[in-house]
Structure 1
Amino acid sequence: MLTVLTTLCAAAAAGEAAAVPVRGPGAVPVRVPEADTPRPYAFSEDAGTVAGADGTTEAVRLEAGSEYRSAIKKDGKLYYRLDLDGTSNAYVSATAVPRAGTEVTSADGIKVSVQNADGSTCSSEAAHIGPTQSPHPVAAWASREIGHNTYACQEAGTYYLVVERSSTPSSPSGTWDLELDYVSEPPLRTGGSTTAPETWDSASPEVLQGDATSRAGGAGFGEAAALGQGVWKAGIEPGQTLFYKVPVDWGQQLYTTAELGGSGSGNGYVGTALAMALYNPVRGHVDDVGSGYDGSQRAASLPALPPVDYGNRFSINGRTSGMRFAGAYYLVVHLSERVAEKFGEGPFGLTLRVRVSGDAEDGPAYAGGTEPRGAFEVTAEERAEAEQGATGDTARAPAGGAAGSAGDGGGGTGGSDEATGQGDPAMKVVAVAGIGSGTVLVLTLWVWRAVARRRVRSVRTTAGH
């Protein structure tokens, strides 16, 4: 058995990809990419793969509280099944990722819908590459909401998530990867408000000043680097997308500004070079802003947003409606690859100024728990992570496991595998001598996982600097 383990360890160290945990029906293991594989997006390590169906008959069921990985071709239209009760709200998002080297147009994107068994659309949203004309992840969301001034989609039964690839005749062909995220929200114990707050402070405060703290961004929603109030800096390369998450509690307001530093060389102008988007805790689009670039420093700020309030969902304004949950709000920053043509490969200096105003308030009285658990809460641990710079979505730990996983998923700045010696495959081989076969199997899987994480961490470090 030791010989077998040694062989497996050697294979893992030589560059074999490792399987990561999966959740949800129909899910199969996802492979961690090789160190030399470009990573335009870091898929959640808890995501299992599912194949979208061409019609409703063969649609695979998605499970609330889970994340999935899929793929869609040009002009594709895929179906996934949702089995919903008659009381809970369901929110499903799709993040579409053009593969490395893919050409895009500004009109390329996706449309996400939730439909009932009769083909009626409960809600839908589209997202496009936009004026950066640069391949980057785009996300859209759809929902089935109970009692939200609607008469359709209120019954328990079978529903469908529909993901469509939008393009033009001139759009290049090719497959885009997808990450699906499904969150369930229980009803309130009592009726609660049915209107959005009428007044709130819409004046933008003074921009935060002071020395910036380095905080490299993540490469995906699940790998988003935590930010608290403050001034933060990172390096960003043309074509790169950085993900950050900011804990915002009930009653609090979020203000953000992104600044791109001067190039020091080159000349010309890129119409929309820097793009910053804000997504809510279910990865629903809230707002976005962009800025051109001529080689000198540029800044882009999101307009003032309302305090987080359950009643915001009743607003007809999409920006207000999106601020309906407490939890992790995601800042997604992309630098157009066209910047490299005029100003070089970079990296360029990025400064984020983040302000979270107001005292945290009590949230709504839900008649049950969310899926995943704690999706619309801000904990003391999450606030600490925002100060310390932890990465990974700790709210998405598998049921029965600790929040966050060793290594990439919420480990903070505490100790890496390298620092503890746990990332060395040779240490695992020595440790298992004389151990029973069952334990050897567990440790073998541990070796594969540790090696893959070291490989991914290496790629992440390269991408963040």
Structure 2
Amino acid sequence: MILGAAAVPGPAAAAAVASGTPGPYTFADGAQSIEGARSTGDAALLKLGETYKSSLPSSGKVNYRLDLDAATNAYVSATAVPSPDSTVSVIDGVKVTVQDAEGNTCSVDNTSFGVARSPHPIAAWGMREISPSKALCRKAGAYYVSVERVDPDGEGSSPDAWDLELVAMTEPRTAKTGPTSAPEVWNSATPQPLQGDAERREGGAGFTRATPLDQGVWQDDIRPGQTLFYEVPVDWGQQISVTAELGSTETDGPGYTSDALDLALYNPARGEVADVGVGYNGGQKSGSLPPLPPVDHANRYAATAQVSALRFAGSYYLVAHLSEGVADTFGDGPFRMTLRVRVSGQPQGGPEYAGESDPEGVFEVSDQDREAAAEGVAAGDDTAMRALAVGGIGTGSALLVGLGVWTVVARRGTAA
């Protein structure tokens, strides 16, 4: 991937620095600045496999262009980042629509902030699928991605522009015709939360800064208004289940915050799969994601968006946000958060793709991904990698570990 100059901090980042609150989001290194157009006729091109930084105005659509062939599936995700000091309504959020050159709608998706009304990074995705069940959006040519606020005029939403991160990627067609309907039978029983002693892992501040996790019990500290990112490798045939817990506080006094802790699961294309909100009254509270089916290529034919989103192997993202309203009653924290992550089932063979994804390797789980999850080495964290390579191990072993970790970074750097 050809990387442009790093984008300058937007209004959300500047507001965070000025207020001293945790930064809301770290954009991908080398994200190229791009301006959304009011008209599709002026829409700038989003190159497949690359990441961009843009801005979302308070009202109206901004448009971008994709140039696609007639064989591959394409996905685009928009992560909206409001300023920490802005206000948002219950139903406000970000909406992504993909249309072809003839105005046919290929997909529509939106994500909202929820009842906590706490501004934080949220993502919605769009897609152009080559599918036997879809007669439209199959031609090669120009496609247009529009991004807009869900409820720009809603009561309680401030008119500030939001920062926006855009990433476009492709999934190759399969070499052989597979199932054209989603699996009907899977273990839908509510899984028991994983038990055991917790290990500390500090979350990152963006999708490309997500901290790798594997199956286990993980703890971190989170402050009101903060959003933390983690990634879990989930292979074909595997099921992921997560329970989030918020520890008790010593602060006295009655009070309750609805959806104080929001935990969302996103797929490798940054499409939301499911989420859970945990209310908080100062005592320990927990909530679990709903039961989810195993990752399967045929899930894309499911009628429900939740199942359809589980269509790829790869890194699934856990995004945890603690509502800024928690501070009003229970103080600035930090608060202890526990994530109980279970990945059940043995990895299975996936579809035989006729080509490579762009970025390469984004829809697969490699040995390097599993090693990174076991060690908790964040992508692009040079300091952690060097410490891992030299801390308490021999020179020969350090060299082998260093080479393995650098392989992870090289692959993920391309994906970022």
Would the TM-score normalized by the shorter structure come out above 0.5? yes
Given the alignment of the two structures, is residue 152 of structure 1 paired with residue 136 of structure 2, yes or no?
Answer: yes
Does 2:321 correspond to 1:334? yes
Distance in 2 of aligned mates of 1:80 and 1:371: 18
Structure 2 counterpart of 1:174: 160
Alignment match, 1:407 = 382
CA offsets, 1:163-195, max 9 Å, x none?
012222432111100001111011111111111
- Distance in 2, Cα, partners of 1:411 & 1:53: 41
Contact 2:5 2:30 in 1 (8 A): no
Is residue 188 of structure 1 aligned with residue 163 of structure 2?
Answer: no
Kindly tell me the number of residue pairs found equivalent between the two proteins: 380
Conserved in 1, the CA contact under 8 Å of 2:262 and 2:275? yes
Task: State the one-letter code of the partner of 1:140.
Answer: A
One-letter code aligned to 1:79:
N
Change (3 A) 1:413 1:356: farther
Displacement of 1:107 in angstroms is: 2.1
Q: Point out the structure with max Rg over C-alpha.
A: 1
Match of 1:368 in 2: 355
- Structure-1 residue corresponding to 2:365: 378
Q: 2:8: which partner in 1?
A: 31
RMSD: 1.9
Q: 1:225 aligns with which of 211, 224, 230?
A: 211
Aligned partner of 1:275 in structure 2 is 262
Tell me how far apart the structure 2 counterparts of residues 285 and 205 of structure 1 sit (CA, whole Å).
21
Q: Distance in 2 between matches of 1:413 and 1:354?
A: 26
1:205 to 179, 191, 194: 191
User: Any stretches of 5+ residues in structure 2 without a counterpart?
Assistant: 391-416
2: CA distance between counterparts of 1:197 and 1:281?
20
Structure 1 stretches lacking a partner, 5+ long: 1-20, 393-404, 417-465
| Alpha-carbon separation, structure 2, partners of 1:243 and 1:305 | 20
Equivalent residue for 2:292? 305
Distance 1:89 1:54 in 2: 26
Contact 2:84–2:120, Cα closer than 8 Å, also in 1: no
Alignment partner of 2:42: what SS? coil
TM-score between the two structures when normalised by the length of structure 1: 0.79
In 2, Cα distance between equivalents of 1:136 and 1:310: 31
Identity %: 49
The letter for the 1-side match of 2:7 is: V
> For residue 64 of structure 2, what is the aligned residue in structure 1?
80
Measure how far apart 1:388 and its partner are.
0.9
How many Å apart are 1:372 and its aligned residue? 0.3
Alpha carbons 2:87, 2:117 under 8 Å: kept: no
Q: Residue 336 of structure 2 aligns with which residue?
A: 349
2:278 to 277, 291, 294: 291
Aligned residue in 2 for 1:14: none
Q: Distance in 2 between matches of 1:413 and 1:388?
A: 12
What is the CA–CA distance in structure 1 between the aligned matches of 2:274 and 2:80, rounded to whole Å?
18
1:40 to 12, 18, 24: 24
Is residue 114 of structure 1 aligned with residue 98 of structure 2? yes
In the alignment, is the contact (CA less than 8 A) between 1:122 and 1:144 conserved in 2?
yes
Question: 1:214 is matched with which residue?
Answer: 200
Return the offset for 1:415.
6.3
**Distance (whole Å) between structure 2 residues aligned to residue 204 and residue 95 of structure 1:** 30
Would you identify which runs of 4 or more consecutive aligned residues in structure 1 move more than 3 Å?
Answer: 31-38, 410-413
